[in-house]
Structure 1
Amino acid sequence: MSKLYDLYGKVQGAVISFLMLFVGVLMFIQVILRYVLKMPLMGIEELLLFPTIWLYMLGGAHASFTRTHITCGVLTLLIKRKKSFALFNIAQTVISIVVALWLTRWAWWFFTYSLRTMKESPLLYIPLILAESAIFVGLALMVLNTVVEFFSHVSEYRSFDGTELIKEVK
């Protein structure tokens, strides 16, 4: 499972890198055409919408994969024992899973709505489902990553005997 999960992380990172490069190239082309050559290309802003939304959602999923997402660690300052800290992490992750599942459910409803309506972009007539599906996919990946994090915290909790203290930072 670990090798497969690591491969998933590498693929996700590669897709994000490609999307960043693609967005950068499109913006460079837009600047050169509009401000240097004075020949604006119609629709490039609309085209930028699709990789940008995917980049945003996959970036959030990748942050949850690498566990570099934003957390509020104020309560962790009060915890002295490693086992208590691991239990706190389990509770925090369970809350994250519940919230992520709730948001993913809404994203699923939006995804099915997008499939039913099959809206198109106004200028290039690109199906908006290509961008709107990123919300569901990104949140589903965040749920997956948070569930993996939960099992990691449970394993960590089981490894402590309850007497080990967290080292003080000096």
Structure 2
Amino acid sequence: MHLNIPNPLNRLVSFLLRTKEYILAVFSLVLAFVFFFVVILRYLFQADLFAYEEWVLIIAFWVYFLGGAMGSYENTHVKADFLLSLIDNLRTKWIVINFTLFVEVLIGAVLTYWGWLMLYEEIAAYPSWQTTTGLQLPFALPKLGIFIGFVLMTFYTALHLYSGLRDGPSEEWESDEAPPHL
């Protein structure tokens, strides 16, 4: 399905995509280097990197949820759309897809709200908020990644719904598989 982004949002979406791609690339490289370094330390020098699990886990949360947001934008997340293969009528497919997107937006809004509550609970507890045991990193850091991930997933799903409703069913719409890269 082709994603038609409204003009006022083009620059924002482009900025978000570039920022996410950069963060995901950097964090993925950091994770790879850290695991390589930990293996070298552990097996060649019989040493350990103190509490690396704490900050690696935070990075992993960010990678997971930003990756989920990227999947929402590209519409490549795992889905069970077996029903669509049984439907021949283009308009009926269009209705089913847009109804599904509508439900996804509603679920995303609820998850975003819960993500906000989770993050707000941490922020409200400052300065005595929860921290990790070794490095004293605030739990708010991974929770921020979860919240931002949910915000972006919901935003991109809403863009897909808007685009689908605006364009309506057409042969071109059905044949378009992936959104354009900005």
- For the criterion TM > 0.5, the same-fold answer is yes
Task: Quote how far apart the aligned CAs of 1:81 are.
Answer: 2.0
- Structure 1 or 2, whichever has the larger Rg, is 1
Say whether 1:142 aligns with 2:153.
yes
Within a 5 Å distance, the mapping from 1:27-106 to structure 2 comes to 27-106=35-114
2:16 pairs with 1:8: yes
Q: Secondary structure at the match of 1:126?
A: coil
Three-state SS of the structure 2 residue aligned to 1:80 is coil
Task: Summarize deviations over 1:72-95 as a string: whole Å, max 9, x none.
Answer: 111102211222211211101000
Q: CA 1:4 to 1:116, structure 2 compared with 1: closer, same or farther past 3 Å? A: closer
Equivalent position SS for 1:68: coil
Deviation at 1:58, TM superposition (A): 0.5
Would the aligned equivalents of 1:64 and 1:146 in 2 still touch at CA under 8 Å?
yes
The aligned residue for residue 34 of structure 2 is 26
TM-score for the superposition, normalised by structure 2 = 0.83
Task: Give the aligned length.
Answer: 163
RMSD of aligned residue pairs (Cα, Å): 1.9
Distance 1:132 1:50 in 2: 9
**Structure 2 residue runs without a partner (length 5+):** 1-8, 176-182
- Amino acid in structure 2 at the alignment position of 1:48: V
What residue in structure 1 maps to residue 5 of structure 2? none
When normalised by structure 1's length, the TM-score is 0.88
Q: Is the 8 A contact 1:86 1:156 kept in 2?
A: no
- Name the CA distance, whole Å, in 2 between partners of 1:15 and 1:42: 24
Higher RCO (C-alpha under 8 Å, 6+ residues apart):
2
Distance 2:31 2:170 in 1: 46
Percent sequence identity over aligned pairs: 24
Match of 1:125 among 123, 136, 145: 136
Q: CA deviation at 1:113?
A: 0.8
Q: In the TM superposition, what is the alpha-carbon distance from 1:23 to its structure 2 partner?
A: 0.9
Structure 1: stretches of 5+ with no match in the other structure? none
Q: Distance in 1 between matches of 2:55 and 2:37?
A: 12
Pairwise CA distance, 1:59 = 0.7
